[in-house]
């Protein structure tokens, strides 16, 4: 099953930093910004997380909660979050359930080999759990202003 814009996102439950279990249903009444990224402690993923971190106040003013998601373990996420001082939780999708739901696992070329990896993507879910917007093949440098502009257009 893959999601489409305007459709409800099935409730999910996933392990997160801070010894939490995140459930979609617990965030009714808030917008969710889910950003999928390939790997903790890599340059592009660090830059993207820092850009979300540095704009957290604007996201909060727009009633939006941010979650970063990769296939790294909660333990690895805890180190990454602490090192970069992320004020949001990172979700550990080690079984790729969320990655598959949002269809972000893609074939990539790494060092001449075909590998399956996460395509950098962001999704906005509304206060009622409906998928509103998606960005795929995200370009880190311009992405956060795009997401903020979209959220501001909803206000």
Q: Report the catalytic residues.
A: 45
Q: Are 65 and 152 in contact (CB under 8 A)?
A: no
Sequence-separated (6 or more) residues with CB below 8 Å from residue 125: 9, 24, 27, 31, 32, 34, 131, 132
Please calculate the CA angle 89-54-132 and round it to the nearest 5 degrees: 65
The token pair that represents 73 in the structure block: 């373990």
């Amino acid at each position: 099953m893959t999601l489409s814009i305007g459709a409800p996102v099935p409730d999910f439950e996933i392990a997160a930093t801070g010894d939490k279990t995140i459930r979609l249903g617990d965030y009714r009444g808030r917008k969710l910004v889910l950003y999928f990224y390939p790997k903790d402690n890599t340059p592009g993923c660090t830059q993207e997380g820092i850009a979300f971190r540095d704009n957290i106040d604007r996201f909060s003013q727009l009633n939006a909660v941010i979650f970063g998601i990769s296939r790294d373990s909660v333990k690895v996420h805890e180190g990454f979050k602490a090192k970069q001082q992320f004020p949001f939780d990172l979700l550990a999708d080690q079984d790729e359930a969320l990655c598959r739901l949002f269809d972000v696992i893609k074939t990539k070329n790494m060092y001449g080999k075909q590998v399956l990896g996460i395509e950098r993507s962001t999704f906005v879910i509304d206060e009622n759990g409906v998928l509103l917007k998606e960005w795929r093949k995200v370009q880190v440098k311009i992405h956060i202003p795009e997401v903020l502009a979209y959220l501001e257009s909803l206000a």
